Amino acid sequence: MFVGHLAVALGVRRVEPRAPLAALIGAAFGLDLLWPLLLLAGVETVRIDPGNTAFTPLAFVHYPWSHSLSMAVIWGIAAGRIAAPILRSARAGLIVGLVVVSHWVLDYVTHRPDLPLWPGGPVVGLGLWNSIPGTFIVEGALFLAAIEYYRRGTRERDAQGRWAFWSLIGLTTVIWVSGPWSPPPPHPTAIAMVGLAMWLFPVWGMWIDRHRTRP
């Protein structure tokens, strides 16, 4: 998933106000923030394979350290342990950790069977990406519901609060919707470099939080 991960961050932000949106976005996209670093280090592998699924031309050949279930749990525990003292809330830390693990759960829905349960273990995936309409319906419904839930639970302090939020929604929507019809990336390194740009999303979340508040 893509916007589905952002949906989790938006929804949880309203449930746990002590967890900043920046932390929740970083947690929701956390496995994908690690992945390009591991690609560039040569630890994990992706292959450009148009037709691998209807929705993406990427074949996720080897990514057990970022995207196996066991490692997602470990990364979630680590994130929660770090977040709890910073946020001064064990509950907020626990929720940040659970949001990290939610990434694997949502990917399990969309990926074909390529997600390892543990490094070297069996691979699983329900394969929603094999259907473009199905992906748009399922992930889109989750995203729209989260947008409305978040919007009703916050209000902008000023114009920046409105534009920061809706520009993030607009950008991620364009990236997501255009994905199936975009030309395949030229090289795995290009995929990693684009992936590194996602580190801007938590910063964007910080910008939004500074200009929005609970009603």
Q: Which parts of 29-89 fold into alpha helices (H)? A: 30-40, 64-67, 69-87
Q: What is the pLDDT of residues 134-160, one digit of tens each?
A: 999 999 999 999 999 999 999 999 999
What is the spatial distance between Cα 51 and Cα 61, in angstroms, rounded to a whole number? Answer: 15
Cα 159 versus chain centre, distance: 26
Q: What is the pLDDT of residues 68-113, one digit of tens each?
A: 999 999 999 999 999 999 999 999 999 999 999 999 999 999 999 9
pLDDT at 215 over 80: no
Question: Mind giving me the DSSP string for 134-173?
Answer: HHHHHHHHHHHHHHHHHHHH-EESSHHHHHHHHHHHHHHH
With beta carbons less than 8 A apart as the criterion, state whether 134 and 36 touch.
no
With beta carbons less than 8 A apart as the criterion, state whether 206 and 21 touch.
yes
Mean pLDDT of 18-36: 97
Buried b (16+ CB within 10 A) or exposed e, 120-141: eeeeebebbbbeeeebeebbbe
Domain ranges of the chain: 3-213
CA distances in angstroms from 97 to 6, 71, 111, 124, listed in the order given: 15, 12, 22, 22
What does the pLDDT read at residue 102?
98
pTM value?
0.96
Q: How far apart are the first and last CA of the chain?
A: 30
